[in-house]
Amino acid sequence: MTVENFLRSRAPLSTGHAVAALLVLEDGRYIMQLRDDLPDIWYPGHWGLFGGGVDEGEDEFKALQRELREELELEVTQARLFATIDYDLQPVGLDCYFRKYYEVPVTLTAWNRVVLHEGSEVRALRGEEALSLPRISPYDAFALFLHHSRNRLAGSIYAPVAR
């Protein structure tokens, strides 16, 4: 895997609202994706969370369900909004966008049935392992760090999604 597409590609990148899943296994590991090394995607060849764009008029949770079905054949019935990161790109001539992160509990049985359709690899990793990967998309790394370190956040009253 090279970083050629990440550093040197001139292919256009699309912008828009997006959703991502903090897929948390029963044993606490996170399911991560090694993104394809394609010139027209954000952070090619980097590790990240599963998810994708929200289509015009699409409900955000429905977008999350669609993306996880398309990428992993994973059927999601419950998720909890964990964090939203807003991007104001107006100074560079674009618009304001969000990336919403949902905590999604995944059973070990469901994990054993996933089929990877997008990305070049999928792994279940402990938080420290995931955050130590050599190439991880920065926005997903931030959300993953917040989730993994949620008990350190001052005054945190965070309660995970019921399993």
Tens of pLDDT, residues 73-103: 999 999 999 999 999 999 999 999 999 999 9
What's the mean per-residue pLDDT of the chain? 93
pLDDT score at 74: 98
CA angle 66, 108, 145 (to 5 degrees): 70
Which neighbouring-strand residues pair with 101? 20, 83
pLDDT score at 1: 52
Q: How far apart are CA 140 and CA 99, in angstroms?
A: 10
CA 150 vs. chain centroid, Å, equals 17
Q: Which of 38, 5, 35, 19 is nearest to 123 (CA)?
A: 35
Contact 74, 114 (CB under 8 A): yes
pTM of the model: 0.92
3-state SS class at 92: helix
Q: What is the mean pLDDT of residues 60-67?
A: 98
3-state SS class at 8: helix
Q: How far apart are CA 51 and CA 36, in angstroms?
A: 13
What residue has token string 């392992």?
129
Q: What is the mean pLDDT of residues 58-62?
A: 97
Beta carbons within 10 angstroms of residue 43's beta carbon? 17
Q: What is the pLDDT of residues 17-38, one digit of tens each?
A: 999 999 999 999 999 999 999 9
Q: Which of 26, 30, 56 is nearest to 122 (CA)?
A: 30
